[in-house]
Amino acid sequence: MTAPSSPELERALSLLRAGEAIGLPTETVYGLAADALRSEATARIFAIKGRPTNHPLILHLADASWLDDYVADVPESARLLARAFWPGPLTLLLKRGERVPTTATGGLDTVAVRVPNHPVALEVLRAFGRPLAAPSANRFGSVSPTTREHVLADLGSDVPLVLDGGPCEVGLESTIVDLTRESPRLVRPGGISALELERVLGQAVLPADGTERAPGTLPSHYAPRARVVLVAPNELWSAVRATSARVGVLCQERPPSGLAPHVEVLELGPESGALAHDLYASLRTLDERGVELIFTTLPPPDGIGAAIADRLARAAAPRPEA
């Protein structure tokens, strides 16, 4: 992956210094990044996304040595996880340091931090020298962007600059683990599995218990325009055949022959990593093809399969506005 040219990097830095938000590639999804320490800058993020301002943002750091500057009482568990998984798709929920304004944390006394594993994001962070708040660079509630084109399609002229870093390697948002409670809790499954966290921590990581307030944990989120329908694997093709609606299918196996011409099939292969990588782009593609329904099955819940299942379940959940 190529680093930004120096004029592009200079433009990114001058926009960030002016309190603007820019599109930034990471290994998970593209972020809408702004200076986390300035309230006017994070206000730009909320305004562009149309996101409620009480939803906390993730702070992106250049490396783990920044932890003590923005987090209070860094626990040993955080240092262990940072050493094992940073830079990478893991966000740690910790006690907010005094320098972090509550406008970035949705008014909370906790702060979410991660070091992204992408050369462009890291170069911008190092040169800027301050943490960047960056939620996914899409309108609130829709599918996260995994290419620069997705960001432009969603946010268009509302963002002055979107740096290009190619398609995101992981394709799903980072794992979030809460280290502020008695036991670590998995707030959002992602590219690092609970099992991997447990191996490093040497202790159980409990599931979220619903007391967390977080937009990615709303029942309905990450939703394409089409309605997503989860089907048991052995019923997929009979369900597809039984509907007369314009239907899209996301599947991991070769489709049977003789499907009706109005059925749009995207075959993503048997491997969960590849499915995660292409999931959001595929949902967008099916939306563009104008399907009303998207039929799909859940992968096995191990590894990144748990994160895929989580996002598909949210995409399939009833929507408030529906």
Tell me if 200 sits within 8 A of 80, measured CB to CB.
Answer: yes
Q: Is 26 in the site for Mg ion (CB under 5 A)?
A: no
C-alpha–C-alpha distance, residues 316 and 322, integer Å = 12
C-alpha–C-alpha distance, residues 139 and 32, integer Å = 10
Nearer to ligand TXA, 134 or 240 (CB): 134
Contact set for ligand TXA, span 116-145 (CB under 6 A) = 116, 134-136
One residue of 117, 136, 174, 282 binding Mg ion per CB under 5 A: 136
Size of the site for ligand TXA (CB under 6 A): 28
Burial 157-167 (b: 16+ CB within 10 A, else e): eebebbbbbeb
Q: Is 108 in the site for ligand TXA (CB under 6 A)?
A: yes
Stretch that binds ligand TXA, among 10-18, 158-166, 212-220, 281-289 (CB under 6 A): 212-220
C-alpha–C-alpha distance, residues 302 and 193, integer Å = 8
Q: Among the residues of the chain, which ranges form H helices? A: 6-17, 39-49, 67-70, 76-85, 119-128, 148-155, 194-201, 236-242, 272-288, 305-316
CA distances from 212 to 9, 155, 178, 306, 311 (A): 36, 28, 9, 19, 17
Q: How far is the CB of 180 from ligand TXA (least distance, A)?
A: 8
Q: How far is the CB of 58 from ligand TXA (least distance, A)?
A: 5
Phi/psi at 309 (5° precision): -60, -40
Burial 264-276 (b: 16+ CB within 10 A, else e): bbbebeeebbebb
Q: How far is the CB of 6 from ligand TXA (least distance, A)?
A: 24
C-alpha–C-alpha distance, residues 165 and 83, integer Å = 25
End-to-end distance of the chain based on CA atoms, in angstroms? 40
Q: Is 215 in the site for ligand TXA (CB under 6 A)?
A: yes
Nearer to ligand TXA, 127 or 218 (CB): 218
What would the x/- binding string for ligand TXA be over residues 182 to 211, using CB under 6 A?
-----xx-----------------------
152 binding partner (options Mg ion, ligand TXA, none; Cβ < 5 to 8 Å by kind): none
Around Cβ 129, how many Cβ atoms within 10 Å?
A: 9
Contact set for ligand TXA, span 33-92 (CB under 6 A) = 56-58, 91
Nearer to Mg ion, 91 or 136 (CB): 136
Around Cβ 101, how many Cβ atoms within 10 Å?
A: 14
Stretch that binds Mg ion, among 129-137, 203-211, 236-244, 293-301 (CB under 5 A): 129-137
Nearer to ligand TXA, 138 or 296 (CB): 138
Task: Give me the residues that bind Mg ion (CB under 5 A), please.
Answer: 136
Task: Give me the residues that bind ligand TXA (CB under 6 A), please.
Answer: 26, 28-29, 31, 56-58, 91, 93, 105, 108, 110-112, 116, 134-136, 173-174, 176, 187-188, 212, 214-217
